[in-house]
């Protein structure tokens, strides 16, 4: 009986390794995240074993991850005191791929040379990322099971691997990477510390590099609100958002159904997109049990929420979905729904509880709420309540919601009126307002075409029709007798006929109006579009 065994990799593993070894990747540093995530998994499993199994090797070993770098030998080793692996488990886990998702990943990787390997962990083949930076990998491991023997697994990633038995190991796994010629930077302390901070800063076990602990920041999003101080929140915000200031708003919540979610979201103080810095990238990182799965995840929130920074951590992620892209997107959709709903509700609460703060939010980030109300059909109904306008009854700087408007409506008033113009001053010198001012009816002011688009799309709010007052078929509220002497029918026809002749194709129709008091004439839109939308169409059609 010999302890030395040579095994051939499963065909699928060979194929995967071939691509991993021979392609050039821009972000191959993610190999470390994968190895740390495996170590954290192994520690998590041991934590569980400790509760369920009394018979356990190395019961008092601290649960931790130690990374040792040797820039003379060009090695990086990562050791954990987790559950370890038996010989059989080594063969199953590091020589075969059990899940079907890996085929899709191989397909994806082989389509080009510079493919994004970031997804490797989600396909359940993260371990093999080690071969992006190493030409030889050694795994020394001792299982938690009292009767297991220590094993050494070795491979150059080509064709086969060997397993030997060994003495003198402590419980857990040590993986040593013999770094490739072009990957020597991964034996440099500063580089490794940076990578850990970037991807694994919130792993719930201590990580040390050459004996020095590096992950001091904790996964505060999994804590209770009353266990986290204001300072910790701010520190964390600065870390996650790469910011130097304090956040404007913060939402920290947990959900148990339909999914287990721990989330901590921030609204920054400033909106750089508004200042013309270009379109923002999404700013929410996706975690599964404190291990970073996707930085700046694209699908976790709708696009209009791209200004939010923070963390979403869901336990369901690796168990159900991460292997299969189809399920992946279904789960993401579920997550997105819950988190978006929560955030909108939070904003509505803030608007009530802290109107001044909400005003500040609106001034900076209102453009995103408008974008949402215009593009996010699922959430439009709730988003409409977050919109704010100036109006004929608002003082300078005061903001009016559709609800406010509703409460101030006249008893016999059927419609909600609005009018677009570049500024409050311009709108207030136009003849459109005359009759409304006279009858003391409030008119909302819109300044962006997208606002008119939203209101037109909406059609009505709480059963009240939304009407742009530059529309020709506007139904005016009942008014008292007009002042002054009216023209006779013949005089009217003659005047209208003459005007139509002079204006020609510029107008479709000239009609008598009951809405003017001081001004002699007014230009109106005969179709469903408002003036600002007409202007927008002119630009688009050019």
Binding positions for ligand ADP, rule: CB under 6 A: 34, 38-39, 41-42, 80, 82-85, 93-94, 124-127, 173
The entry of Mg ion, ligand ADP, none near residue 203 (CB within 5 to 8 angstroms by kind) is none
* Torsions phi, psi for 193 (to 5 deg): -65, -40
Distance in Å, CB of 129 to Mg ion, minimum: 9
> Measured from the CB of residue 282, what is the shortest distance to Mg ion in angstroms?
24
- Whether 34 has a binding-site annotation, put simply, is yes
Q: Tokens standing for 70?
A: 């040797």
79's enclosing H/E stretch is strand 75-80
Both tokens of residue 237? 């915000």
Q: Considering beta carbons, is residue 123 or 304 the nearer one to ligand ADP?
A: 123
Q: Tell me if 398 is assigned to a ligand binding site.
A: no
Q: Site size for Mg ion, by CB under 5 A?
A: 2
Q: How far is the CB of 126 from Mg ion (least distance, A)?
A: 3
Collapsing DSSP to helix, strand or coil, 186 comes out as helix
Stretch that binds Mg ion, among 38-46, 61-69, 244-252, 518-526 (CB under 5 A): 38-46
Whether residue 101 is annotated as binding a ligand: the answer is: yes
Distance of CA 463 to the CA centre of its chain: 34
- When asked if residue 38 is in the footprint of Mg ion (CB under 5 A), the reply is yes
For residues 121 and 132, give the distance between their C-alpha atoms in angstroms, rounded to a whole number: 14
- 88, two tokens: 């059989």
Give 29 or 41: the residue with its C-beta nearer to ligand ADP.
Answer: 41
Find where tokens 């609800």 sit: 403
Is 122 known to sit in a ligand binding site? yes
Known binder of ligand: residue 173? yes
Q: Provide, rounded to whole angstroms, the least separation between the CB of residue 318 and Mg ion.
A: 9
The interface region with Mg ion, picked from 35-43, 231-239, 322-330, 331-339 by CB under 5 A, is 35-43
Q: Which is nearer to Mg ion, 38 or 262 (CB)?
A: 38
The neighbouring-strand residues paired with 207 are 65
Cis peptide before 258 (omega within 30 of 0): yes
Q: Is 3 annotated as a binding residue?
A: no
Is 211 annotated as a binding-site member?
no
| Closest C-alpha to 312, from 327, 334, 280, 330 | 334
Name the DSSP class of 389.
B
Minimum CB distance to Mg ion smaller for 27 or for 473:
27
Q: Which residues of 301-339 are buried (b: 16+ CB within 10 A; e: fewer)?
A: bbebbbbbbbbbbbebbbeebbbbbeebeebbebbbebb
Question: CA-to-CA distance for 125 and 106, rounded, in angstroms?
Answer: 10
Provide, rounded to whole angstroms, the least separation between the CB of residue 97 and ligand ADP: 8
**Binds 80: which of Mg ion, ligand ADP, none (CB < 5-8 Å by kind):** ligand ADP
Nearer to ligand ADP, 178 or 323 (CB): 323
Measured on CA atoms in the order 214, 217, 221, 227, is the torsion positive or negative? Answer: positive
Does the annotation list 123 as a binding residue? yes
- Which residues make Cβ contacts (< 8 Å) with residue 309, sequence separation at least 6? 237, 240, 241, 243, 247, 265, 266, 267, 268, 283, 284
**Interface with Mg ion in residues 119-148 (CB under 5 A):** 126
Q: Is 157 annotated as a binding residue?
A: no
Please identify, using beta-carbon distances, which residue of 93 and 525 lies nearer to ligand ADP: 93
For residues 94 and 90, what is the distance between their CA atoms, to the nearest angstrom? Answer: 6
Cβ of residue 41: shortest distance to Mg ion, in angstroms? Answer: 6
Binding site for ATP: what residues are annotated?
34, 38, 80, 85, 93, 100-101, 122-127, 173, 323
Binding site: what residues are annotated?
34, 38, 80, 85, 93, 100-101, 122-127, 173, 323
Applying CB under 5 A, which residues contact Mg ion? 38, 126
């Amino acid at each position: 009986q010999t302890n030395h065994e040579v095994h051939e990799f499963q065909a699928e593993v060979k194929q995967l390794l071939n691509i991993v070894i021979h392609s050039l990747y821009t972000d191959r540093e993610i190999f470390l995240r994968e190895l740390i995530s495996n170590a954290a998994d192994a520690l998590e499993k041991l934590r569980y074993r400790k509760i369920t199994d009394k018979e356990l090797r190395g019961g008092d070993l601290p649960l931790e991850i130690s990374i040792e770098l040797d820039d003379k030998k060009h090695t990086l080793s990562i050791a954990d005191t987790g559950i370890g692996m038996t010989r059989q488990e080594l063969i199953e886990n590091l020589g075969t791929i059990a899940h079907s998702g890996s085929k899709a990943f191989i397909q994806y990787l082989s389509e080009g040379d510079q493919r994004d390997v970031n997804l490797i962990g989600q396909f359940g083949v993260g371990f093999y990322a080690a071969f992006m930076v190493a030409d030889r990998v050694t795994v020394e491991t001792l299982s938690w099971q009292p009767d297991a023997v220590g094993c050494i697994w070795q491979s150059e990633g080509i064709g086969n691997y060997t397993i030997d038995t060994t003495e003198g190991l402590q419980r857990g796994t040590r993986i040593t990477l013999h770094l490739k010629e072009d990957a020597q930077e991964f034996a440099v302390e500063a580089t490794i510390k940076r990578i850990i901070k970037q991807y694994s800063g919130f792993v719930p076990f201590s990580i040390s590099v050459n004996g020095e602990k590096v992950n001091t920041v904790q996964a505060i999003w999994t804590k209770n609100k009353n266990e986290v101080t204001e300072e910790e929140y701010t520190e964390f915000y600065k870390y996650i958002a790469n910011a130097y200031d304090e956040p404007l708003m913060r939402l920290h919540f947990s959900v148990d159904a339909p999914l287990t979610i721990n989330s901590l979201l921030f609204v920054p103080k400033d909106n750089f997109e508004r200042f013309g810095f270009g379109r923002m990238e999404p700013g929410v990182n996706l975690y599964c049990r404190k291990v970073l799965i996707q930085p700046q995840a694209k699908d976790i929130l709708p696009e209009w929420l791209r200004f939010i920074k923070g963390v979403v951590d869901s336990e369901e992620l690796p168990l159900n979905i991460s292997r299969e892209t189809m399920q992946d997107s279904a789960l993401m959709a579920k997550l997105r729904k819950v988190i978006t709903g929560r955030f909108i509700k939070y904003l509505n609460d803030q608007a009530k509880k802290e109107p001044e703060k909400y005003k500040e939010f609106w001034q900076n980030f209102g453009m995103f709420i408008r974008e949402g109300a215009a593009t996010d059909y699922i959430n439009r109904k709730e988003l409409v309540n977050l919109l704010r306008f100036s109006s004929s009854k608002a003082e300078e700087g005061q903001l009016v919601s559709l609800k406010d408007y509703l409460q101030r409506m006249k008893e016999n008033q059927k419609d909600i009126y609005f009018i677009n113009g570049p500024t409050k001053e311009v709108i207030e010198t136009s003849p459109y307002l005359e009759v409304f001012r006279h009858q003391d009816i409030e008119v909302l002011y819109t300044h962006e075409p997208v606002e008119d688009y939203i209101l037109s799309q909406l059609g009505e709010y709480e059963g009240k029709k939304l009407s742009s007052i530059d529309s020709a078929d506007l139904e005016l509220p009942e008014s008292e007798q007009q002042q002054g002497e009216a023209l006779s029918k013949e005089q009217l026809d003659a005047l209208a006929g003459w005007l139509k002749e002079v204006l020609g194709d510029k107008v479709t129709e000239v009609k008598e109006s009951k809405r003017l008091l001081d001004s002699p004439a007014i230009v109106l839109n005969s179709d469903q579009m408002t003036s600002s939308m007409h202007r927008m169409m002119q630009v688009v059609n050019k």
